[in-house]
Chain A
Amino acid sequence: MSVVARRYGPQAVILLMMLFLLVTYFFVMPEEVMGFEANVIKWGSIAAGFAMMVGAIDILRYHIAFLVRRTPGQWLYSLVLIVALLLTAATGTIGVVTGVGTTYEPFAWLYNNIYVPADATIYSILVFYIASASFRAFRVRNAPALLLLIVGLIVMLGNTSLGYVIWPGFTPLSVWLNKNIVAAAFRPIIIGAGLGIIITGLRTILGRELYRRE
């Protein structure tokens, strides 16, 4: 493939798609064009689905290597991963082919009894991490740190029934802090991030992405 096609071909596709999506977002368009736009968005989902397949193959390749080499301390975990991946893919595929989708019993069992508890467990680890991080980080070394500690304690106590028992005012104070102070602090970050996204979009349209591709 020529350099022109390799470099400018994808860029032309990106430019056309971005301009099309911008125009259909801002302007009133006929139903047929909006229907095409909905299909374009679906193409993105389909492409992402294929990318997920590539990802799954990449994972398989990576872990099969560990299995083949019997890498100490790793190969057993790789075996578990490969079996789990293939089993989930197989049951999911059967569910789709038979038309029952995610309600296919074996797939639903795997999901509800293995994936869901594992997902919840890792999410729950946050409680331990936030506790140890708070213990280390809420150290009163200066005035702003003292303010942070006081506000943090008010919000924590306001969020629990323990705070209500100690003083009923913690809850409304916590809500007031969230509504007026925290929301106000978040607004400029949201605005700034939005502006950054717009300019990144401009750079993508102009083919000036931040990483070079040939």
Chain B
Amino acid sequence: MSVAEKIYNILSIRQLLYVLLIIMVLIPLLHPFGIPISISSRVREVYKYIENLPDNPKVLIEIYYEPAAATELEPAVGAILRHLVAKNPKIVFVSLIATGPIMFERLKSYVPDVFEKLKYGEDYVYLGFLTGGETACASLARGIKEYVVRDNYGRPTADMPIFKYANKAEDFDLVIIASSGTDVFEWYVRQWFTPYHVPLLFVALSVIAPSIEPFVAAGQAIGMIVGQRGAAEYELLIGKPGSALAAMDAQSFAHGLVIAFIILGNVFYWIIRLQRKEIPGR
């Protein structure tokens, strides 16, 4: 067995790759290097849009993710909330997924500084989990307090001051959808944007981005923030570093390791192939 074959076989040991990945993720988490990141045009557009919102904007935020996706989506939602809170917004939080209420409580503990500045019932409200998917989405657009008589905590919505300003779809300046799936984006496009032309902002996982890109390209959404990288860029823009920015070094190191293995794998694959004139095993 040649040297190249030995190295190729060692590289093919998946456990080696896994151990190295763990090390490469742990090191920058324990000792951040502060590698600079650039800010994409995509995130800049979103930042500019929110910056140009009028004072006291009325915003609906859809919390549609599970714990597994929270690491990517929570930092983005948190950064947007920190940006929005400077404008004294009126925010209606809602979830069309069963894990929403728990994710909302986590969000509150992730950005406590935001919620300290807002008064419940006047500046923000959380409607809880609403069943019915797209139908619930459509009903919300027609009138929130008529559709949801009690919020997540059992309090009646009829007398809440916030709904004097933000009740029907036409009242809202922006709808932000933070989701780990693609369906809910389509619901809001069909039920909020198409009939009422309410601007939509997508906050999505990086793997989902290509399938919601057509909506942004068609002008059905004002933009999107994608994955932990998008959240990190937004944190940089608002000048408030958070967990997304802290994870960028680890992401870079992990990507770097995978790229190195891919390149080395190809190099030794071709050396062996040229030496032996046959294809090496897996």
Contact = CB atoms under 8 A, between A and B. Distances in A.
Chains A and B touch (C-beta atoms under 8 A apart) = yes
Interface of A: 34, 37-38, 41-42, 45, 99, 101-103, 108, 111-112, 115-116, 119-120, 122-123, 127-128, 130-132, 134-136, 138-140, 149, 152-153, 156-157, 159-165, 168, 171-172, 175, 178-179, 182-183, 185-187, 190
A179 B213 contact: yes
Contacts of B101: 101-102
B18 A160 contact: no
Nearest to B22: A128
The interface centre, meaning the residue of B12, B71, B131, B262 with most chain A CB atoms within 10 A of its CB, is B262
B200 to A, nearest CB: 17
B38 A119 contact: no
A119 B66 contact: yes
Contact of B21 (A131, A168, A179, A183): A131
Nearest to B98: A102
Interface stretch (B51-59, B115-123, B171-179, B253-261): B253-261
B11 A135 contact: yes
Interface string B152-169: 101000000000000000
B193 to A, nearest CB: 16
B71 A120 contact: yes
B133 A41 contact: yes
Secondary structure of the B side of the interface?
helix
A98 to B, nearest CB: 11
18 contacts: A34-B139, A41-B132, A108-B105, A127-B254, A128-B21, A131-B21, A131-B258, A135-B12, A135-B258, A140-B270, A157-B259, A159-B251, A161-B35, A161-B36, A163-B255, A164-B37, A178-B210, A187-B214
A26 to B, nearest CB: 12
B87 interface: no
A84 B105 CA distance: 23
List the 6 closest pairs (A to B, CB-CB), nearest first: A123-B68, A183-B213, A162-B252, A45-B131, A161-B35, A116-B67
B81 interface: no
B206 interface: yes
B154 A127 contact: no
Contacts of B209: 178
Contacts of B133: 41
Given A101-B101, A157-B255, A164-B36, 16 more contacts: A41-B133, A108-B105, A131-B21, A131-B261, A139-B266, A140-B269, A159-B229, A159-B255, A161-B37, A163-B255, A165-B35, A178-B209, A179-B217, A182-B210, A183-B213, A186-B211
Interface residues on B, range: 35 or more
Interface in B107-160: 131-133, 135-136, 139, 147, 152, 154
Contacts of A41: 131-133, 135-136
B231 interface: no
Contacts of B210: 178, 182-183, 185-186
Contacts of A38: 132, 135-136, 139, 147
B83 to A, nearest CB: 21
Given A136-B282, A140-B266, A171 B38 contact: yes
A160 B152 CA distance: 38
Contacts of B184: none
A103 to B, nearest CB: 7
Contacts of A134: 258, 261-262
B41 interface: yes
Interface in B222-273: 227, 229, 248-249, 251-259, 261-262, 265-266, 269-270
B194 interface: no
A77 B259 CA distance: 38
B88 interface: no
A111 B258 contact: no
Contact of A139 (B71, B256, B269): B269
A172 B256 contact: no
Nearest to A121: B68
The interface centre, meaning the residue of B17, B101, B255, B265 with most chain A CB atoms within 10 A of its CB, is B255
